[in-house]
Each structure stands twice: as structure tokens, then as C-alpha cells.
A and B are shown apart, each in its own frame.
Chain A
Amino acid sequence: MLALSTDSRFSHKIWQEEELSKMVEGGVPFPMLSDQGGRIGTVYGVYDEDAGVDIRGRFLIDPDGIIQAMEVMTPSVGRNVNELIRQIKAFQHARATGEVMPAGWTPGKPTLTPGPALVGKVWTVWKPEKS
């Protein structure tokens, strides 16, 4: 986990000490990176030049350094860590088994093995969730 904003490392230190450590025991356990000037945010498509800040963007990168998922949001809504964890588990499962995860998959639910035998037969193994 890497957190990035356009704040300085000094700001990160004080935020951790003064606020985050009061929300999370011991403070957040991951590096807080400084993207002053938005140079990194620019190549990731999340730097807002008008505001001079990186907007909310989340990138999931696999052990080979390949981006597997990204989510970018305007500032007013925070993220959902449960959805992030679901995606990490799904991509890890796909990487380990070659299986694919249908819409709405959560750990423990049926996965699909892609191949000619499954064409036109997905309905036999996957039912849409009733809400």
C-alpha cells in the first residue's frame, strides 16, 4: 500500500502524528509519498491542474508491475475498502488458477473456467444475484 498526495513529506509526518495515529492505533502502516508538482499524478491521470492536487485514484498493481485495476473519483466521495479487498482477492485467484470471476463474485462463490465448453453455458453455472 502506497499513499500519494501533493503534500510534502513534512505534512505527511504531522498528519500521521496529529490525526491519523488517533484514528488508527500506531498510525497508518504504509509509506506516504509526496507528489509535489503532480508529476506522478499526471502520468496516472489523476492530477487536477486547476486545483493543483491529485484527485482520488486507486491503482492495483500485480507482482509483475502490471496495472490490474484502477478507480478514479472526484473528491467528494471516499472509497470502499471492501470493494478493494474483493478485487485484490479476485485478481489473486485469477493469477493463481487461470479461472475468471463473474460479475458480483466474492470469495467462496463459483468461478468460471473459460473455454469452448462454457460458451452459451454460463447460465448453468452462474445465476445473477437477486437484490
Chain B
Amino acid sequence: MAEASTPPRDACVKPARGPIISQSEGAAPAAVPQKEEKASMLARVGKPAPDFEASAYVDGGFKNVKLSDYKGHWVVMCFYPGDFTYV
């Protein structure tokens, strides 16, 4: 697991790309994505899961995780309101 001899580095701010939406998505040429347009819900059953990259806490360390890293595996994504909440 520990391939590097130097301890893992982290920064206070670590950018992650968030949603990764390809231009060809849905092959709908009419809808040219506008920069100022707010992202809206794209997730639909039977359709490709929108890819994304997020910073994450994994196995005691920090790294960025992409949904597409898990291609070939079943994935359950669980959103929840917050750490330390009651339910």
C-alpha cells in the first residue's frame, strides 16, 4: 500500500473537478451548454451516471476519487445530510 517513502502530502485547499459533463452527453446538439447556466439534475435510471471527481477521505488518507474509477464494478452512492447528524 505505502509505495512512497515520503509521508502523504495534503493542502488546505484541494480542488476537485466536481461533475464531469462531456460535451457529447445525450447527443442533443440543440442544447449548447451555457457557462452561466446552472447545472440541473441529470441522473436518470437506465442512463449513464454523471461522472464526477471529489476529494475524499479514504483508508485514513486523503485523495481525489472519480466515479469512473469504478467502471466494471457495482457502485452504491449514498448522499447524506452531514457528518455527525443523528439518523
* Cβ contacts A to B, 10 pairs, < 8 Å: A1-B75, A2-B76, A5-B79, A5-B80, A11-B83, A55-B81, A58-B78, A63-B73, A67-B43, A78-B87
A86 within 8 A of B: no
A70 within 8 A of B: yes
Interface string of B23-60 (1 = CB under 8 A from A): 00000000000000011111111111111101111100
Residues of A within 8 Å of B48, CB to CB, are 65-67
Q: A33-B56, A39-B18, A66-B48 are in contact. Are A44 and B81 (CB under 8 A)?
A: no
Shortest Cβ gap from B8 to chain A (Å): 12
Given contacts A43-B40, A60-B75, list 13 more A-B pairs with CB under 8 A: A9-B55, A39-B19, A42-B19, A43-B50, A44-B42, A58-B79, A61-B70, A61-B75, A64-B71, A67-B44, A68-B46, A69-B45, A79-B78
A101 within 8 A of B: no
Q: Total A-B pairs in contact (CB under 8 Å)?
A: 167
**Interface residue count for B (Cβ, 8 Å)?**
46
Shortest Cβ gap from B72 to chain A (Å): 5
Q: Is B21 within 8 A of A43, CB to CB?
A: yes
CA distance in complex: A125, B56 (Å): 47
Q: Is B79 within 8 A of A54, CB to CB?
A: yes
Residues of A within 8 Å of B38, CB to CB, are 42
Most buried by B among A4, A69, A84: A4
Q: Which residue of B lies closest to A91 (CB)?
A: B74
Shortest Cβ gap from B43 to chain A (Å): 4
| A window 1-39: CB within 8 A of B | 1-7, 9, 11-16, 19, 31-35, 37, 39
Partner of A45, one of B43, B58, B65, B68: B43
Residues of A within 8 Å of B21, CB to CB, are 43
Q: Is B84 within 8 A of A54, CB to CB?
A: no
Q: Which residue of B lies closest to A32 (CB)?
A: B57
CA distance in complex: A7, B57 (Å): 11
CA distance in complex: A19, B44 (Å): 34
Q: Is A6 within 8 A of B52, CB to CB?
A: no
